[in-house]
Structure formats: structure tokens, C-alpha cells
Structure 1
Amino acid sequence: MDYGSARNSPFRNLLKIFCLLPTVAYAQLLHPGDAKYEEQAVRGVRHRSVQLACGDVVAPMVVFWSFTKLGSLVPRAVAISNGIESKVEKASAALGQVSLRNGTLEVSDLQTAAQGRFMCQAMFEEDGEIKVGYFYIELVVLVPVPKPFLQMTDSTPVEGAAVTMTCAVKEGTPPIEYSWHRHTNREGAVAVAEAAGGLLNLTAANRTHMGWYACTAHNEVNSQTSDRMYLDVIYGPDEPVINVEPFAINQNGFSANEQEEVILTCLAPSNPPSHYVWFYNSSQIYSGQKYVIAKISRTQTGTYTCLAQNALLNTRTQTTIILTVYYLPEGKPSCTPVPAANFRDIALQCSWPGGFPPARLRWVRAGREADAAASYSNATRIQRGVDVQNGSSYTCLASHPALREDAVCTTTVWVPVGNPTCSAMATKQNEFLMLSCDWAGGLPRVTLWWRDWRNRVLGGLKPSSNIYVMQSNSTLGGKEFTCIAAHPLQARATECLVRLDVPKLAAERTEVLLFEGGEVQLACALQGPHLGSEVFWFNNKHQVIRPDAARYRLQQGDAWFNLTIRDTEWMRDSGTYHCAAVNAVGNATVPIRLRVKKYPTPPNVTISKLMYTRQRTEVQLEWVTQGSGNLTGFVVQRQEAKKSSLGPSRSAARAWETVASDIEPDIRDHRVGGLDPAVVYAFRILAVNHRTTGHPSEGKTPADPPFNAYPAVIGAAVAGMVVAAVASLLAFQYIVRNRDNNPRLHDLLFGMAGPEAHEHISTPEDAETAAGVAEAETGGELGGTSPPVGEASAECHPEPPTSTQEVPPAPDLAADDPPVNVTITVTATP
């Protein structure tokens, strides 16, 4: 431990306390009963973790760990702690990853070099006294065994040769024990009894020793299994065995029926597998283990030899059999009942022609011989239909020398349950009519034929199913056709009737009423047999509705047909629709009237307020409704009314443009934005009831907003008036007092004003324009109305002079001359 570097480290307090250990130890020598000494042995596994406890001390004040390796007497420092801080010596990395917690030394990734003696010196407090403990731990490091290595002297010995296998490991704490296993697909894993430790000696290997071998090494720490090695013992071939399929033997060997598939299989155990060669009457015919004769014939009777060869050992064995081929009739015996004597009797027929000798046939019933004698190749027996019960079974037995037992052919006479089913349908776009009659089952099968309404037979007699095709004709509507079914077990024939009906249609509702904008479904259905009728829908303009029409949707089932009209309109969709059906013998149609109603007209609307904002880019609109009626919303429209004096000239007024269409019915105000300040707009509003629009309100142009600078303007005007009035009075007083000095000034102010002094207004439009400009400049609503043109808003009357001098009287004014008025106009610009 580098104590020089620790002098200025955070662990200098630990060193100071550690230096007290000798003093405390000396004190313990004086009181030896107060010191603790313990020894124990601990076993650890290399590369794992081990914990070394410093006795039973719970919270030591100072702990110092040291280590003495085997064969040495010099201890070396490992770690030190004062209960708060701890330090691990760098050199202890040779022992593993060392850490110290609460006095316990933990070594992770334990190394073999850690085997030796560890000593823990602890200073702790007990019963109010400081004591020292010495704890010695003998650590034994156990080494696990690695994966064993398996060796084999000969992996492919010839049967009877000696084989030796060895299993070894590179390291591991003894004692190390070994176990051996052999694995095969048939037996699985089996323990090998011949093994002794890491050595397996087979003095005479045979085929039973073949398999995958593996050894397992284990000690007290772990166990490991080696990779598997395969022992392949070479042997054979043994004496071949020939198997014949199908298996049939006779006094000379094997037999087979002609035209059967015969499989000859040769098996001679061998490793490597045998190579097989087949010989027929001493001539080589095939190479392979299995020789297949697809259809054996009588000419292939003879001797067959199988030769087995081991190519590796160059050894061979062989065996021979005799195969006799019998000639049987082709196929199997067939037996079937057929109607006879005009469907009154049943003829039981059994046949199996060919073969040598011919097959011997005879009929039996319920395990008893029938009255009829046996015959060859063909056998027939007649039974009266009335004497045969439904479900009676009859058996035909066939005997032949090539058969090991009689061939059996069984038939059951029965009549199907129920009745025949018949139908009519049109084919090839209604060009032909097809009458179909079916009654499946039964043995013999039911015989069917057709008759028309004039009792004439159509076509011929057929079993189980009878289809008759004829040309379509409108005169066949309502005509009946009969299918007749006969069977020997039935006393009377069964009939099935088909009527060629013109299609019949029925509508779910013949008149449908709804408001526009909704979706309506018109439905019709075919009633009764409809002979494959095709159904079409015609709209209110007598046009066929195609399946790909955008506003229509066609749906249909087996007998129902629906037409759905989306987004109905009053003028466009009202009218009569037709559901039409067409088949090969006629057609039918059913009308359905659709009435699409408009929603009632909503109440009228009047604009109660329409005013620009300060920037003239938005308008605040308010309105009220007049009268009664339902409504679902409002629509706001605008148009350019005229050009503004603030902007460039524009073209004439345009059409009304909708600027808001989703206003709720309970709303009575709306703000419209996106306006051009240079354009004068006109606005109107309409009430809407679903799709019905009410009368539009009158178009109005927005007013300018109230001017909010009124107090400043009025104050400035009043101040100006006061200043002007005072100045005028002073001027008037000066002029009056100096009348003689300034006679012209006096006459100018107080002289008579002639008619030419008034402003001439040529046209009324000029007056209105002047008034409009003045109103626009003053904001339009400056409180109160402006005085009429020509009247003074403020009159100034000169006061008489206060001087005692005589003032000459003023000249008399003509009676018809108007008085002089002074008008002061104040214009405030925001």
C-alpha cells in the first residue's frame, strides 16, 4: 500500500485510526479476555463471487483486511474502512474484483491466486469499550471442469475389431469422475457399462455398439458433456429375405393375380447398406431394393433372385423364390338390379366375364343359397316387385381358383324417400326453356319422363334425372308440364307438376312521401315461381337504372329487389318509378310513386345592424326574424356595391356571394372578415329551412363605426370657439372705437351684405355630396344634427361701447336684407 500517496488522500483519517490499532492491541494484551480470535474455512469457485465476513462484528469502527498467499508468511494489505469510508488496495486486483461493505469483503470474478489466508482486524465498540477482533479465513478456490475432449481410435471399424475411446479435461479441482452415454434413434440415450473412468475399450465392436457417443466429466463444482462422436461399425450383408406384396403363397412359393401390382422387396442387413440386383430366370432385370411390377401377366411366372452386395467389404449374398401368376377376370364381379316387365319386376344381374377358368357365380340372400343354379360368367334372377321389400339385399358370390376366398358383390333394392322435384328455368337470355326433373337415389334408379298439357311424352325415359329443353314461346304462359316417376317397388307412378307462370310483382309501398335531401328505398318482390325472371328498375323519366349509377344503389336477394335514391331533390326525383320483371313467357311491372316535398318556407329576415370595424376589414352583422316558421340556419351573402373613394376604381356590381352558410338557427349576429377596405360591400341575409331558402333581406351597406375621439374633438372645438369669440370681441371693440380712423374696415364688417355674398348651390346633388362629405368627415354621428345650410351655429353680437364718448349710430339696414350670420365649422381628423 502506497502510504505516501495516501497522506493527502481522503483516507488519511483511516490511516490515523489504523495507527491506533497497535495501541489498542497493546491494551488488549493487558486485558486478553477482551480480544476476539476466530478461524474458519471458506470454499469459493473461480470466476464467481465469494463473501468473507469479518466475524460477527455488526458495525466496526475500523476494519483492515490482509491476505497471505500459500507458501508465504508475508501478509499483504487488501482493504481498509473506518465505517464511513473504505479503500481497496490496487494490488488486490490479482485476487478478483474486491469491494468492502460494512466490514464484509466481497470478491467477484474470483481468481485462483486468491487461494490462501485472509485476516480481518476490526476495532469495534462493545458494552461501552473499544475492542479488537482478529478473524482468520482459509479460502479454497475450486476450479470447474471445462468441456471434455473425446477421442476415438477408429470411428468406422469392421465388425469384430477393437475400438478405444478416451475422455479428458484440461483442468478442474479433483476428484473428477466420468460417465459415458450412447444415443440411437431407436433406443435414445443409453448408459455405457463397458466404460471405466475416462476410458472406454470395446475389444470386439459389433453392430449393437453403433451410435453417438458422449462423455460427461463432473466434480463437486459442475459437470460438462463433450461433443458427440459417431461409431459406425461396418458389417454384412446378411442372408437376404424377399417379401412379396400382395402376400399369397402356394405349394411352390408365391402367387399373384394377373394385372395386379406386385411388389418384390429384398432386405439384407448391411453397413453400408447393401446394393441389390434382381434376376428373372437368371437374367438381370432391375437394380434396387424394391422391384415393382405394375401389371403382372401370366408370362411373368418364374424364379426371381435377389443378390445383395456390400461394396465396402466386397461381400455378397443371394436368395431365390418362385412366383406363379394366376389369370383372373378383369376387375371385380358386378351386380345390379334393373327394372323389367314395364317396371313390374326386378332383374338381378351378376356378371364377371373373362378369366381362366371362368368365374362361377351364384345369387344368395340372407346367407342362404338361392333357388337359381350357379352359372359361369353371368347370373340373372327375376324377382316380382310386389314381393320385394324396400331395403332387401342380395349377394352374388364369385369363385375362382386364383382367389383365396369367394369374391362378393352385394346389392340392395330400395326406393328413395320423398317425391321427385321438378322445375323450369330459362337459358341463353330466355331463348330456351329447360324442364328439369330429379329424384336421386334408389336401386334400381327411378325412371323419369316428361308429358305436356296435351299428355304427349316429351323426350325419352331417363334414370334419376331427366332434362328437356324447348324453344321459348309467349304462348306457353300458364301451361303445365308433368314429370312422371316409376319404380318397381311402387305400385303407382309418382307425378310432379310444373307451371310456366308469367312473373308476378308486388311492391312494399306503391306511394312514398318524404322531404328532399333524405334517402328513400323503393322495394318490390317476386311472388311465386318466377322462372328465372330478370328484374329492372326504371326511374321517373322511364330510363333503366344501371348498377353503376352514382345517385342510385341497387340491392337484391333471391326474390326481393330494392332501389335506394340518395340525396333526393324536389324537382328532380319526384315522379313514378317502375319495377319490371321479364322471363321467357312474359313480363310484369309495378309502379311506385315517389313524392319529394320541399320544406316550408322559413320566416323573413331583416338586418338590424351592419357596421364596419375600425380597420374596415370586418363587418359586424345583426338581424331579426319576421313572422313564424321553422328554420335550420342562416346564410350571409355579399356583393361589391360601388367603389370607395379610398381605393382604386372597380368594375360594376357583381353577383351575390355566400360568405357564411353554417350559422345555427338560434344565432342572430355574425362577424364577416376578409374584406377589402377599398371596396364598398352590400350585405344581405337569408333564413334556411333544410334546403328551402327564404326571401333575402334587403341589401345594405355597412355604416362606419362610432368615432371614439368625441371628447377631444369637442374640447378642441369649444376652446377654439372661446378663443375666436374673445378675439372677435376685442377686434369689434377696437373697430367701433376707431370708426373714424378706419371707416373702410368698419364698413367692411358692418356694411350691408348683398345677395351675391351667399354661396350659390347649382344642383341638389352638390348639396347632398357636400353634406355627405361633411358627415363622413365628422364621423356621421357626432351627437345631434348639423345646422341647416345658411344658418349660424354661433352668433356674435358686439356690445355697446362702455366709453362716455358718443358713438355714431349704425347705418340703417334695409328691411329686406338678411342679417349677417357667422358659421364656425371644426373638423377633427382621427
Structure 2
Amino acid sequence: MDYGLTRNLQIRSLLKIIYILPTVAYGQLLPLKETKYEEHVVKGVRDRSVLLPCGDAASPMVVFWSFTKLGSDIPRAVAISNGVESKVERGSGVLGNVTLDNSTLEIENLKTAAEGRFLCQAMYGEEDEIKVVYFYIELIVLVPVSKPFLQMNNSTPVEGMPVVMTCTVKEGTPPVTYSWQRYTNRDGTVSVAETVEGLLNLTSSNRTQMGWYTCTTQNEVNSQTSDRMYLDVIYGPDEPVISVEPFAVNQHGFSANEQEEVILTCLASSNPPSHYIWFYNSSQVYSGQKYVITRISRTQTGIYTCLAQNMHLNTRTQTAIILTVYYLPKGKPSCTPLPATNFQDLALRCSWQGGFPPVRLRWLKSRWGGNSTATYSNATQIHHGKDVRNGTSYICLASHPALRDETICRTTVWVPGGNPICSAVATKQNEFLMLTCDWAGGEPRVTLWWRDWKDHVLGGLKQSHNIFVMKSNATLGGKEFTCVAAHPLLTRATECRVRLEPPKLVVDRSKVSLFEGNEVELACLLEGAYLGSEVFWYNNKNQVVKTDARKYRLQQENAWLNLTLRDTEWMKDSGTYRCAAMNAVGNTSASINLLVKKYPSPPNVTISKLMYTRHRTEVELEWQTQGSGNLTGFVVQMREAKKAPKNQLASSWETVVSDIDPDTRDQKLGGLDPAIVYAFRILAVNHRTTGHPSEVKTPADPPFNAYPAVIGAAVAGMIVATVTSLLVFQYIIRNRENNPRLHDLLFRMAGGEAREHISTPEDAETAAGMEGGTSEQLGEPSKEAEETAAEVSPGEGTEVPEDSAAAQEEAPAPAPVPDPTADDPPVNVTITVTATP
């Protein structure tokens, strides 16, 4: 606003005031009552609104606002009001958005140019007087601070290096204060410093100053905070620290139990973080901060070294520990009571050998007293046997670093009931004798040893089971051996005895008799065990009976040994049978006399009938018995009746039937050869005894009758010839066209008197053709019967002595004679017809 314009505005304002005053005084000039001057200071903020009041009175008659810029003496009009209307000068926009409300001047969106001196001139009418007020206001425009900008001269310093941080703002009404903050995940936001100037100087940076830094600026208007900036201090690595899980220390370092999972962790402060390398006894085994041994073993005891490296600074540090692996012995602790002081005392021994460190063992004090001093690997207590009750229990405690709780080993001392059991057996085919003594049970177990009849100790001392083996000797028969048993809880030793005895045999029956063909059982009993004696049977030929023999069967049940003879035979199986037994100290035998008897002879037999059937393939045999005697059946035998050549034996008898019932007296035998003459005989049988054979006979021929056969043959021949002729005639007639010459030859042979019955045209033609022809007589051949003379064999009942030379001569085979009573077989007859042309 130039001076001329302002001057004109003031003049116009004054003119308006002069104009208004008479109006207010209703056409009269009112006298001035007084003039009042006030001065105030008002602060406003840029870009905000501010109110400039013009005194305390309300509704002035005239208000006039002017503004004088700082450093200038020329006022400038801003706004004016006559109480009815108000007006703002156009040039006041440089101050902001100016409005006049009554007497109060309001400036919105305050500008920095509005800072200066404002003058409010107001006129008030009071009691017919005019009051003039001059209100001076010093307006101070405050500027808010802008968002500061943070800078570091080195954001990644090495620990110990200086760091300068600068915080700058573009604008802001002084005074401006600066505060510094640091944020870390661990501590959160903490205040670092407050400065008048925007400068923070860290003369020697360290790891504790690492974090996110911010700068906050503040004046009386506002405060602003800068963006974060990270200060990363490079350092390390420090000396590593190794931690072991599970945590267990000893005088040398750390310890772990075998088969545990061990975790070795290395921590060395460093920025950037350290790179870790693990060494076991100077050999690299792993790369990483955490080294996990899943199931550590005793072989992994040794020195573990952790090397930490700062790859940025190329620096390194290391540290080492000694890790000792504890391990238990194999198995579990054993609590063993043992005899001591010649079985008078009881020694309790607790043992668990091995492991590292050795297991610590101690017996708990019992009510019977005893030492409870702890020892390693072995712990022993001694008690007097007479003072220990049967069934007393003792406890041994085992402790070890690898055990969470102490392990208990318990033992109970007791003596078994009863007495020792002795026995003697022979081994290896009676070559050795084995003395056995048993007394199982007990804790400690019973101690056993053998003594002979001379009170000499045999072998050594054994627990629960004692076996002594010696060579067999016949002089040991009747000798006695003693087994002695001792135990700490027994007041005196217990004994059992064994006497060596040779075997003893007893037979059920010394004499046995039976008929041949039956089965007999011979029984032999071995009395007593007798060292496992072996029993044998000898037959009547003094041969050892074997188990696989067909004739004999051996059976053994408990102490009985039975010999069974199958299918006994007369004379062959009779005799003395012997049962023999032997053991390591002797042998014996017992005899049984067996008599096999033959059945009585059956009665004699004679043949009453022996005749061929018609075809000479079967014979009918009948017989009778003579004399007294039992019989069980009959046997029929047969052979050829011809005489054997010289220097050759006659053919042997062949049994044809052998199972004939004793009540039967006839038999029909088949399967014979008609060309052979047979001789038969029969014998009576009583079980296995065969009677005298009957006389030897050859079969007789049946009675001769050829008439029915001849008649039958003739009749059959005639029937066959007739049927054949009819068939030939029918064939010629039906086929006369195909064979006319044969037809003419046959039918023209008939005489003139011969006539043929004409039933068809073809027959008529044939008959006409045959008239005038000659006929010839057909001659009928004659039949002759020839008889063949048959040589008749010896008649029925003819006896042939068995030893006679005539019976052995060859006889001619008789010709078969037809039997009129038998069924005739068909006879083939051939009829020959000759036709002469």
C-alpha cells in the first residue's frame, strides 16, 4: 500500500466520521467526554485465525482499524464501521482473511505480513457525551516449526569412533529447542539429550548407543519429530561364552550322561553377529552357534572349542571347555550272597563293575547289623550264618551321576526245603558211570560234593547240581557213594547216598507151551533202576533178537520187556529163550523154555467120484472120510498124469483148492485143458497138520450120446439152404434187367409144363421169353455122415496108483463124446448147389 493511497483512505475516513458525528448527535455536536488509550500484545499463529478486540465496550458508534507494519511509521487503514455497516479495505488481504464483527477485527489464515501494530479508534456516546477510545494492539505472528531433518556423519561407526548427528528445520519461530530420542526393542524409546542447537555429538560411540534415533524440535507453537535413523555400531566379537544343556559341572568343567542329548551354545557379542565354528579336540566338527549332540557317547569326552568371527572386521575370539561323559556299567548291580569261612558265615557281595565314574555302592544297615560304609564298584558285608534267619532280605544302594535316583539291588537269603537227590546212570554204552546230585534252590545255592566209600572227595564243589563221571568197573558193584550238601544257614551238612547194584531179572513163566501157528508172548521184568540197564532177548539159537525181525516183536513198557513170536512152527521155534540185562557194574540173565506142539493128524480121505463134464474143462469131485480125528478143512491137489521121461522128476503136486469147509464133501473144479490128462488127490487138514493123501485118480468121461447133435445139425443145414435159395431167386427176379442172361438161364431150364405166376408186366415178358427154351433138372447133392471112432479112456472109479510106472505113461486123449442132456451148440452145414447150363 503506497503512501498516497493510505492518505486518501484516512482522509475519506475522517470525512465519514465528520459526516457521521452530526447524525449521531441528532444534528448537534456533542461534547467529548474523555479520550482513553490502551495498549495490548496479541500473538497469532500463521495460517490460523486471530481475534483483535477493540476494548470492552460494545456497539461503538464509529470504529476504525488501521495497521502499521513493523519498521514503518505510516498507518494503513484496514476496516471501518459506523455501527450499521462495516467495510474492509481491499489491500488488507496481505494480512489474511480480514473481517470486522462489531468492533472486533478477525483475521483468518493469518499471514506473516500481519505482524505489526494495529490501532482501533472507537467513539462511544455516553450521557450526551462522546467517548473516544484508542486501542493499540501489538500483533506477533508465530510460525510453527517444520519437520526436522536428521543426518549422521557416520551411521555405521566402529566402536570408539565419534559420531555427529545434525537436526535441521526450515522454519519456525524461535526459540526452537531440540531433543534426541533412541528406540530399541529391548528398552523401547528413551530420551538421549536436549540441546539448544540441532547438534548431537557422540565423542566415542559404543554398542550401548546403537538404535533408532529421532530428533524432535519444539517452539511455543508446536513440536515436530524427524524420521528414524539407525546408528549401527560395529564391534566384537567379545570372548565367547559356552553354555551346556543339561547344565552339569564338575571339577574339570562340564559333564553329561551317556545317551543324553547335549546342546552346546556359543555366544560372543558382536555386530554384525559372529560366525561360529566348533572344534572337538582341535578337529572342526560343526559350523553354527548351537552344536547339538543327539546321543552323546563316552567316546565324545574331550575339549570343545568355540571360535567366534566378525566377518566385517575380520576379527576372532575363542574359548574352550572340557566335557566329561559319564556312563553306567552294563546291566544292573548284582547282589550275591556267598558262603564264607567253611560255610559258617554268609558274605553279602554287591557288585557293579565298570562305568565312569565308578558306581558308589553301600549296603543298608539291617536289623542284624553290618557295615554300611560306601565303596566303589564292590561292597561286601559278612554275617554269621547262625545269626541269619531264613528268608532275611538285604538291600544294596547304587548311586551314580548318570542315575536320577539310586538303584536298589535286593537279595533274600534262604535255604531250600527237603534234601539232596542222588542218582547214578551209565553212559556211552556202559563205558562210564555218572553220579548226579541235585538240590535246587536256595540263596546262596547249596554247595554239593561227592565222597566215595573210603570218604575220599570226588571231583570238585558245585552249587545245586554236581555230576561226577568215572570209568565203569565190575568191582564197583555194591559200593556206596555219598553226596554232601552244605549251606551257611544249615547248622550241619545234609547227605544222600547211592549204592551201585548189578541188574536183576525176573521172568513171568519159565516154561511155556502152545500149538503151532499161534502167537506167544514171553515176559521179562527188570527189578529196580540199576543204572539204566540194557535188556536183550536171545532166541532158541542163542542169537540176539533184533527189533526189525519179522518173526519177533519186541515191546517195552516201564520195566517189562516182552518178546512176541508170530506164527510159531513145530520143532523150529521150540527151545530155550533167554532174557539178558547188563549195566556198568555187572550183568545177569533169565531163561524161558518154549515148547511148540503139533496138532493131531486128521482122518483119511477116499475119492468116491471123479468125472469130466461134456467139454472136459471141468471135473466133478466127491469124497468120503475114514477113521476118527479132528479136521479143519480139505486140500485138493492136481498134476499131469503122463509119465515123466527118464532122468527127470515127475511134476509136483499143485494145490487147486485149500479152503474147503470141513463139512463139505464135493467140489467142482474148472479151468482144465481138454488135451491134458490130469491126476487128482485130496487130503484132510487139522490146522497145520496134514493127513495122509487119498488115492490118486484121473477123471472119467461122461456117458456117450451123439443123436441129438446129428439131428440138430441136419435140421439147421436144411433151414440155412432153404433161406439161401429163396434169397437168390428173389434177387434174380428183381434184377432181371440188369442180369438177363442169369434170369434166362435159370427160368428157361424149366419144362413146358412149368408155369410162373405172372403178377407184373415184367414177369409176363420174362415168361414169354422163356417159352421155347429147354429146362434142365437141378441135381441135389447127397449128404453123408461120418463118424469118428473115439478111443475110450479108463472108466469111472479106475484107480491109478501114485507110484506106479503105468500111471506116469502118456495116455492118448479121449475124443469128446456129445452129451444128449447138455445144450447142443450150433452146427455149421454147407450145401453146395451146382447148375449145369
User: Structure 2-normalised TM-score?
Assistant: 0.47
Q: TM-score with structure 1 length normalisation?
A: 0.48
Flag the structure with larger Rg: 2
